[in-house]
Structure 1
C-alpha cells in the first residue's frame, strides 16, 4: 500500500469541501518518482498545479478539453483533446488521475525516442486494438489541423491532411496489409528523418 502525499501543505479552501467530495488520493511521492523522470520537487510543484485546476484529484474529459483549448485559441482543439485524453487515461475509466498525467508527461518531456514513439502509437491507435489504420491516422491528423487553426496554414488545401496520411502510411505499412503495427511504426519513424521531425512537431503540439 503506497503512502499518501502527506508532505503537501493542506489547501485552505479544502476544509468543508474535503468532507463532501469524493477525492482521489495519489500514490506516494517515492513511487511516482521511481515511475517518472521527475524530481521530488518537480512532482510536488506539478501536484499543486494539478490540484489547483482539479481539486477532486481527477480530470474528466470535459474539464480536460476546457483546459487544453485555452492553449489553442486560434483553432478548435476539441477533437484532438478527446484523443489526447484517451491516451492519458491509461485504464480507460473516463478520468485522468494525477499518476496518469505525470507518467504520460514524463514520457513526453523526458522519455527516450522509443518511449515517445510508443506513446504516440497509443495515441494514433484510437480503438486500442494494437494497429493503426489509415482512418485512425487521418482522424488524428485532421484534429491537429483543426486545432492549429486555418489561418496558421492559410496555404493548405482541404485535402492536405489526407495527403499527409497517404505519405506516412505508404512508408509505415511495410508489408502493405492496410494496417501499421507497433514494430512497423517504430522502425519507420526511427529510420525516416522526415517522419521523426514531424513527430517532434507533433510533440510540441502536446
Structure 2
C-alpha cells in the first residue's frame, strides 16, 4: 500500500529503498514504528522536492532552516522566529543553515511522541542560550522580554524583572542566582506547568494532534 498518493509508486519505492538503513538506525532513537518513520521521512523528501520546484539546482541533500521554520509556523502553530532560532540550535547542536533527515526525524519524535523527561531536557536546552548548562538571570530577562504587555517601556522592564524574581524563587533551588538543569528538572517534575516558563518551546498540542493523525498508526488525544 502506498504511503503517499501524491508520489508515483516507483519514485516512492526507490526512496524507501534508499533510506532503509537510515530507518533501521532511527528506529533505535525515535518513538516511531518502521512505517511511521517511512512516512515522516517521505514528508522530508517532499520538502526537498519543493525546494527544487522553487528554483533549487538539482536535488538538494537537506532541507533548509527556512523550510523547517515554515513547518513550525504552518503545521505546528509556532511563529516566534526568535524562539524558533533557539529551537533550531537546541535540536541541531550547530549553526548550519540546513536540517538533516536525522534531525528532522528526532525532532518529530520529540514533538509527537516524546516522553516528559525528553521534553524537560529539550526545553532546558532551548532556554540555555549560551550552552553553559545554566540559565542566567540576564538570559531569563531576554527570554521573557516579550512575555509582558508593553504599555510603557519602563513598566515592561519592571514587569519582566518581577517575573524573573518569581521564577527564580520557584526554580533556583540552590539559591546561586541561576537555574541549573537539576534546578529546572526537579522543579518541573513537581510543577509541570513550568515546563515552558520561558516561552513556547513545544508545538501547539491541537496542531500536533491534527498533524499526527495524518500518518501515525496510533495517536493519543492531548
Q: Which residue of 2 aligns with 1:5?
A: none
Q: Which residue of 2 aligns with 1:186?
A: 185
CA offsets, 1:77-124, max 9 Å, x none?
Answer: 211111111112135444321211211321233222211101111111
User: What RMSD in Å do the two structures reach over aligned CA positions?
Assistant: 3.7
CA offsets, 1:38-70, max 9 Å, x none?
Answer: 011111111111121234342333333344344
| Structure 1 residues 177 and 198, CA gap change in structure 2 (3 angstroms) | closer
Matches within 5 A, 1:95-114: 95-114=98-117
Unaligned runs of 5+ in 2: 1-8, 50-59, 206-222
For the residue of structure 1 that corresponds to 2:11, the secondary structure is: coil
Q: Which residue of 1 aligns with 2:210?
A: none
CA offsets, 1:148-194, max 9 Å, x none?
Answer: xx8xxx9xx84555544332222111122222111111011111254
CA contact (8 A) 1:50 1:57 kept: no
TM-score between the two structures when normalised by the length of structure 1: 0.68
CA contact (8 A) 2:47 2:67 kept: no
Deviation at 1:71, TM superposition (A): 5.3
Q: Which residue of 1 aligns with 2:52?
A: none
For the residue of structure 1 that corresponds to 2:120, the secondary structure is: helix
CA contact (8 A) 2:91 2:107 kept: yes
CA contact (8 A) 1:47 1:98 kept: yes
Q: Which residue of 2 aligns with 1:63?
A: 67
| Structure 1 residues 61 and 191, CA gap change in structure 2 (3 angstroms) | same
Q: Which structure's relative contact order is higher, taking Cα pairs within 8 Å and 6+ residues apart?
A: 2
CA contact (8 A) 1:69 1:78 kept: no
Matches within 5 A, 1:33-182: 33-55=27-49, 56-70=60-74, 77-142=80-145, 145=147, 158=156, 162-182=161-181
For the residue of structure 2 that corresponds to 1:10, the secondary structure is: helix
Deviation at 1:142, TM superposition (A): 4.1
